[in-house]
Amino acid sequence: MTFNNTTPTNFFDTSANARASSSPFVDIFQPRDPTPFDITSATSINNYPIQQKWFNTAVDTIWELKNYISSNGITTANWIKIGGATFVETLTGNSGGAVTVDTMHNINVIGDGIYIKTVGNLTPDNHTLLIEPAGGLTTMYVEDSGTATPMNGVLNIFGGTGITTSGSGNTVTISSNGSLSFNYTNVSHASSPYTVLGTDEYISVDCSAGVVTLNFPNAPTFKKTWIVKDRTGNCATNNITLTTPGGVVTFDGQTSLIMDSNYMALNIIANATPTYEVF
């Protein structure tokens, strides 16, 4: 009997080697929502893979990385909110109701470009939207004469003779620079009766040669003031009379006001009636 001594064939199954994925889809757990600048983790040099999940442990919201956006050399991540306990994302103004985000997870806040402009700061550490005047704001200021309208948001306030203006913060101060002066009018007996003008301010009267009459306007400008002074100290003898043509307008209820005390002075102001008040 012949025996064939044969060696059985050995079969080897291939054993799989375990390797870590180069882009593992492991959920990110953070106590905050992702931002467009959450592109990669602190321990990785590669960007998060598309479809990366992010879980906000603070408010229970879930996000997914849709794609990347590149603009002006800056790459940002487009995270899309896909679920969570609070899934409300709107922006509400003074009127018009709530505005929801678009497909790019964005709400545009745009001024009209004439009166209001908005400026966004796209940097990793700044998420600021500035709302500023665009220079077209129109506000008119009306004074006793003329009007003034700001240009590019600026209104200039300048002083005139004897007046200076100074600005600090949001305050403009108007003050005297020490050179204020009155229109000085010299009236004597020879020029009497004298017709008082709206431009007169200080009326200096010389009544040494005789009495003096001052005729004030029948239609004075509201709040206009005058000062009348007996310059030579003679009105006790030669009176100074303040009146109006025909006695139409009164002085403290009198059609004529007599100055009869030497070196006397009076302040006169026209009110809206009109009548003259003495002070």
Tens of pLDDT along the chain (279 residues) come to 434 444 455 555 555 454 444 445 689 999 999 999 999 988 888 899 999 999 999 988 899 999 999 988 899 999 999 887 655 678 888 888 888 877 666 788 888 887 788 888 767 667 788 888 777 666 777 777 788 887 776 788 888 777 888 888 888 888 877 766 779 999 999 999 999 999 999 999 999 999 999 999 999 999 999 999 999 999 999 999 999 999 999 999 999 999 999 999 999 999 999 999 999
Residues 6+ apart with CB under 8 A from 33: 54, 56, 59, 61, 63, 79, 81
- Please list, residue by residue across 45-81, b when 16 or more beta carbons sit within 10 angstroms of its beta carbon and e when fewer do: eeebeeebebbbeeeebbbbbbeeeeeeeeebbbbeb
Together in a domain, 190 and 272? yes
Together in a domain, 232 and 161? no
Considering the domain boundaries, does residue 196 fall inside one?
yes
Together in a domain, 188 and 267? yes
pLDDT at 20: 41
Considering the domain boundaries, does residue 209 fall inside one?
yes
pLDDT at 4: 42
Other beta carbons less than 10 A from residue 244's beta carbon: 22
Q: β-pairing, 194-195 with 212-215?
A: parallel
Q: Is 216 helix (H, G, I), strand (E, B) or coil?
A: coil
Considering the domain boundaries, does residue 19 fall inside one?
no
Question: Which CATH number covers residue 258?
Answer: 2.60.120.640
Cα–Cα distance measured from residue 149 to residue 144, given in angstroms and rounded to the nearest whole number: 15
Together in a domain, 72 and 99? no
Considering the domain boundaries, does residue 4 fall inside one?
no
Residue 117: name the closest of 103, 129, 102, 132 by CA. Answer: 132
Q: How many angstroms separate the first and last alpha carbons of the chain?
A: 157
Together in a domain, 53 and 122? no
Cα–Cα distance measured from residue 198 to residue 220, given in angstroms and rounded to the nearest whole number: 7
Measured over the CA atoms of residue 25, residue 29, residue 35 and residue 38, the dihedral's sign is: negative
pLDDT at 19: 44
Other beta carbons less than 10 A from residue 228's beta carbon: 26
Considering the domain boundaries, does residue 70 fall inside one?
yes
- Asked if residue 31 has a cis previous peptide bond (ω within 30° of 0), the answer is no
Q: Which domain holds residue 203?
A: 184-278
What DSSP character marks residue 265?
A: E
Give the C-alpha distances (Å, rounded to integers) separating 60 from 50, 91, 176, 201: 21, 21, 66, 79
